């Protein structure tokens, strides 16, 4: 086994355990049928390894749990708020810090002020909630990820980058007045969890300066991105992960963060700004919809845990374990012949279900079939990111499929050990063995919006 294939032994020991329930395949068959073959509708208790998301699912440290006890629940000016504000200012270099209950609340506040009818937003890739908040206020959102991202099998260091040529084209087309902001999602969640380079970020800053535009960083995985920059980008070998994050965040005019990821907490969000006038507008909306300036949507204990989490996440041993764990799973799957988005991103492994289940046509949702098989065989829960999530219908009611049929396996932080990952790898042996016998699925119920959350399916006999 090469150095690259090895994961780092978990740099923590376990002080408290949460039991996982071992179920039989027969039991899971019944549970999945009851859930309409949609793993979102399963009881979490019926899941053995939960890869649905890395958001809010991480384990807090002993230091964070101690912080919970120290949480100051004063309505205004709490000690825990001061702690959090100081940590966030130090990280972002931005003077105005606004706490929210999670990432999308920060998005809603910021984009309802910057957006509106006739406005456009440009991003490497907008995350779903970002796009939804932008479209909700009547604006348009354009994704222009770099060309390297088109080929999911080809290696490139920074496939999360924005396409700088297309950025200039869109700026020329819409003009300064119409552009709400350029949003850099770091790492690029909807594009394979791939990192963004400092060079690309600096070029975006330059373009924004040239045209008088605002640059927003959606940086909920900023620490993970820093790991890749240190590893792959010249000139950053000797900087700490935190210094890299500080340098990158300093490039932005605003920072939105779902703290449920690299904040290492189960709930929380942040919005930070450089501009005072904009911060006043945002704070007005915060008070109306989230809470007072010094807690937003958070309890004092949540803010205390977040202040600590935002420091722990930059621990070099933690970050190495984190990124190598994801790579360990992804690289070993690839070695088995499972097609995965390459290279492996920071928080998740994305399996190409269309390629793996090449006998299942897109109209029968190969991604959904894989998601169901992983649950049936191993109690593993993942999410389809393909035509169930993004498919549309034409006027005749025929499916317009998504560009790709992927299945995302997102790893919660500090939750599973290498032996859990080895178990998942074992289950994939079963999947590979039965892949040609697999049948697709048909939708039996779907809501009008965001159908993947609540749709029901049945296996095609
Ligand atoms: N931006 C990015 C890049 C995200 O990945 C998410 C959430 C959000 C914003 C919204 O934050 O959930 O705290 O409101 N991503 C989760 C996921 C849900 O599973 O990838 P939130």
pLDDT digits 0-9 by tens, 247-297 = 999 999 999 999 999 999 999 999 999 999 999 999 999 999 999 999 999
Kindly state whether residue 294 falls inside one of the protein's structural domains: yes
**Residue 9 pLDDT class (50, 70, 90 cuts):** confident
- CA 403 remoteness from chain centre: 19
The residue whose CB lies within 8 Å of the most ligand 1 atoms, and thus the one to mutate among 111, 220, 223, 326, is: 220
β-partners of residue 399 are 393
For residue 172, the tally of other CB atoms under 10 A from its CB is: 9
pLDDT of residue 293: 97
Reported in sequence order, the residue ranges of 69-165 that DSSP labels E, i.e. its strands, are: 96-100, 120-123, 140-143
pLDDT of residue 7: 57
Centroid of ligand 1 to alpha carbon of 184 (angstroms)? 14
Kindly state whether residue 5 falls inside one of the protein's structural domains: no
Report the pLDDT averaged over residues 133-158. 96
Residues 365 and 257 in one domain: no
Does residue 268 line the site of ligand 1, with CB under 6 A?
Answer: no
The range of the structural domain enclosing residue 422 comes to: 25-54+315-459
Does residue 103 line the site of ligand 1, with CB under 6 A?
Answer: yes
For residue 95, the tally of other CB atoms under 10 A from its CB is: 12
Report the pLDDT averaged over residues 329-349. 97
For residue 317, the tally of other CB atoms under 10 A from its CB is: 11
Kindly state whether residue 10 falls inside one of the protein's structural domains: no
Q: Is the separation of the CB atoms in 185 and 126 below 8 Å?
A: yes
Residue 41 DSSP one-character state: G
Residues 263 and 333 in one domain: no
Identify the CATH number of the domain in which residue 283 sits: 3.40.640.10
Last residue of a domain, one of 251, 277, 312: 312
- CA 87 remoteness from chain centre: 22
The length of the chain in residues reads 461
Identify the CATH number of the domain in which residue 36 sits: 3.90.1150.10
Does residue 28 line the site of ligand 1, with CB under 6 A?
Answer: no
Last residue of a domain, one of 294, 312, 330: 312
Helices (H) and strands (E) in the chain, counts: 17, 16
Nearest Cα to Cα of residue 419 among 14, 2, 38, 3: 14
Kindly state whether residue 252 falls inside one of the protein's structural domains: yes
Does residue 133 line the site of ligand 1, with CB under 6 A?
Answer: no
Does residue 100 line the site of ligand 1, with CB under 6 A?
Answer: no
Percent of the chain having pLDDT more than 90? 94
**What gap in Å lies between CA 305 and CA 65, rounded to an integer?**
7
**What gap in Å lies between CA 454 and CA 52, rounded to an integer?**
14
Nearest Cα to Cα of residue 351 among 363, 364, 336, 359: 336
Residues 360 and 220 in one domain: no
Helix (H) or strand (E) run with residue 18 in it: none
**Residue 6 pLDDT class (50, 70, 90 cuts):** low
**What gap in Å lies between CA 451 and CA 49, rounded to an integer?**
24
**Residue whose CA lies nearest to ligand 1 atom number 18:** 55
Percent of the chain having pLDDT more than 70? 98
Centroid of ligand 1 to alpha carbon of 127 (angstroms)? 7
Kindly state whether residue 345 falls inside one of the protein's structural domains: yes
Residues 347 and 217 in one domain: no
Does residue 128 line the site of ligand 1, with CB under 6 A?
Answer: no
Segment 405-435, tens digit of pLDDT:
999 999 999 999 999 999 999 999 999 998 8
For residue 129, which atom of ligand 1 is closest to its CA? 10
Centroid of ligand 1 to alpha carbon of 132 (angstroms)? 12
Segment 204-255, tens digit of pLDDT:
999 999 999 999 999 999 999 999 999 999 999 999 999 999 999 999 999 9
Residues 117 and 265 in one domain: yes
Kindly state whether residue 395 falls inside one of the protein's structural domains: yes
**Residue 8 pLDDT class (50, 70, 90 cuts):** low
Does residue 218 line the site of ligand 1, with CB under 6 A?
Answer: yes
The residue whose CB lies within 8 Å of the most ligand 1 atoms, and thus the one to mutate among 111, 128, 129, is: 129
Residues 257 and 110 in one domain: yes
Segment 80-111, tens digit of pLDDT:
999 999 999 999 999 999 999 999 999 999 99
CA 161 to each of CA 134, 217, 235, 407: distance values in angstroms, whole numbers, following the listed order: 21, 13, 18, 22
β-partners of residue 96 are 273
Does residue 220 line the site of ligand 1, with CB under 6 A?
Answer: yes
pLDDT of residue 3: 46
**Residue whose CA lies nearest to ligand 1 atom number 16:** 55
Residues 440 and 359 in one domain: yes
Last residue of a domain, one of 312, 327, 362: 312
Kindly state whether residue 16 falls inside one of the protein's structural domains: no
DSSP codes of every residue in 216-259: EEE-TTHHHHHHHHHHHSTT-TTS-HHHHHHHHHTT-SEEEEET
β-partners of residue 216 are 183, 254
Reported in sequence order, the residue ranges of 353-437 that DSSP labels E, i.e. its strands, are: 380-381, 383-385, 392-393, 399-400, 406-410
Helix (H/G/I), strand (E/B), else coil: 449? coil
Segment 382-404, tens digit of pLDDT:
999 999 998 999 999 999 999 89
Residues 117 and 190 in one domain: yes
Look over the chain and give the mean of its residue pLDDT values, rounded to a whole number: 95
Report the pLDDT averaged over residues 123-128. 94
Residues 144 and 254 in one domain: yes
End-to-end CA distance of the chain: 42
Residues 292 and 306 in one domain: yes
Report the pLDDT averaged over residues 59-87. 98
Which tokens sit at 222? 């900023």
Kindly state whether residue 13 falls inside one of the protein's structural domains: no
**What gap in Å lies between CA 440 and CA 236, rounded to an integer?**
47
This model's pTM is above 0.85:
yes
pLDDT of residue 1: 36
Report the pLDDT averaged over residues 319-329. 96
**What gap in Å lies between CA 163 and CA 181, rounded to an integer?**
16
Nearest Cα to Cα of residue 327 among 218, 192, 234: 192
Does residue 125 line the site of ligand 1, with CB under 6 A?
Answer: no
Does residue 104 line the site of ligand 1, with CB under 6 A?
Answer: yes
Residues 267 and 366 in one domain: no
pLDDT of residue 435: 81
Report the pLDDT averaged over residues 135-153. 95
Choose the weakest-confidence range: 52-56, 77-81, 83-87, 436-440: 436-440
Total domains, the chain: 2
pLDDT of residue 200: 98
For residue 369, the tally of other CB atoms under 10 A from its CB is: 27
The residue whose CB lies within 8 Å of the most ligand 1 atoms, and thus the one to mutate among 56, 123, 127, 193, is: 127
Which tokens sit at 187? 């790492």
With 0-12 / 13-18 / 19 or more C-beta atoms within 10 angstroms meaning exposed / middle / buried, residue 117 is exposed
Residues 118 and 154 in one domain: yes
**Residue 72 pLDDT class (50, 70, 90 cuts):** very high
List Cβ neighbours of 351 (8 Å cut-off, separation of 6 or more).
Answer: 333, 338, 339, 340, 341, 370, 406, 407, 409
**What gap in Å lies between CA 43 and CA 224, rounded to an integer?**
30
Report the pLDDT averaged over residues 357-385. 96
């Amino acid at each position: 086994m090469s150095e690259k294939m090895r994961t780092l032994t978990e740099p923590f020991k376990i002080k408290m355990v949460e039991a996982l329930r071992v179920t039989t395949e027969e039991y899971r068959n019944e549970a999945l049928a009851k859930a309409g073959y949609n793993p979102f509708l399963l009881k979490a208790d019926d899941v053995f390894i939960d890869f649905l998301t890395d958001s809010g699912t991480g384990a807090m440290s002993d230091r964070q749990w101690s912080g919970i006890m120290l949480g100051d629940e004063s309505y205004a000016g709490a000690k825990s708020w001061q702690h959090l504000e100081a940590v966030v200012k130090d990280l972002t270099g931005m003077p105005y810090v606004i706490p929210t209950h999670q990432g999308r609340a920060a998005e809603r506040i910021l984009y309802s002020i910057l957006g509106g009818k006739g406005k456009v937003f440009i991003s490497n890739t907008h995350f779903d909630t970002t796009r939804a908040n932008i479209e909700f206020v009547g604006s348009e959102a354009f994704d222009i990820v770099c060309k390297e991202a088109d080929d999911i099998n080809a290696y490139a260091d920074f496939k999360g980058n924005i396409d700088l040529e297309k950025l200039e084209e869109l700026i020329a087309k819409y003009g300064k007045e119409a552009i709400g902001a350029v949003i850099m999602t770091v790492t690029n969640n909807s594009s394979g969890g791939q990192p963004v380079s400092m060079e690309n970020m600096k070029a975006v800053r330059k373009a924004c300066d040239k045209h008088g535009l605002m640059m927003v960083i959606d940086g909920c995985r900023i620490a993970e991105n820093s790991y890749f920059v240190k590893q792959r980008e010249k000139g950053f070998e000797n900087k700490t992960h935190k210094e890299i994050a500080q340098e990158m965040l300093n490039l932005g005019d605003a920072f939105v963060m779902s703290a449920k990821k690299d904040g290492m907490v189960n709930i929380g969000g942040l919005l930070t700004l450089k501009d005072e006038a904009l911060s006043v507008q945002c704070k007005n909306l915060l008070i109306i919809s989230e809470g007072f300036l010094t807690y937003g949507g958070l309890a004092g204990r949540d803010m205390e845990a977040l202040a600590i989490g935002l420091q722990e996440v930059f621990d070099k041993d933690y970050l190495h374990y984190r990124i190598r764990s994801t790579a360990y799973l992804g690289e070993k799957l690839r070695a088995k012949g499972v097609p995965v988005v390459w290279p492996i991103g920071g928080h998740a492994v994305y399996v190409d279900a269309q390629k793996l289940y090449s006998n299942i046509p897109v109209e029968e949702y190969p991604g959904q079939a894989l998601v169901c098989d992983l649950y049936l065989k191993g109690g593993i829960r993942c999410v389809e990111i393909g035509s169930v999530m993004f498919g549309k219908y034409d006027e005749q009611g025929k499916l317009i499929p998504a560009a790709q049929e992927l299945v995302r396996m997102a790893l919660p932080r500090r939750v599973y050990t290498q032996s859990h990952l080895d178990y998942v790898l074992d289950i994939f042996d079963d999947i590979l063995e039965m892949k040609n016998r697999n049948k697709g699925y048909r939708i039996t119920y779907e809501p009008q919006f965001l159908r993947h959350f609540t749709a029901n399916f049945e296996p095609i006999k």
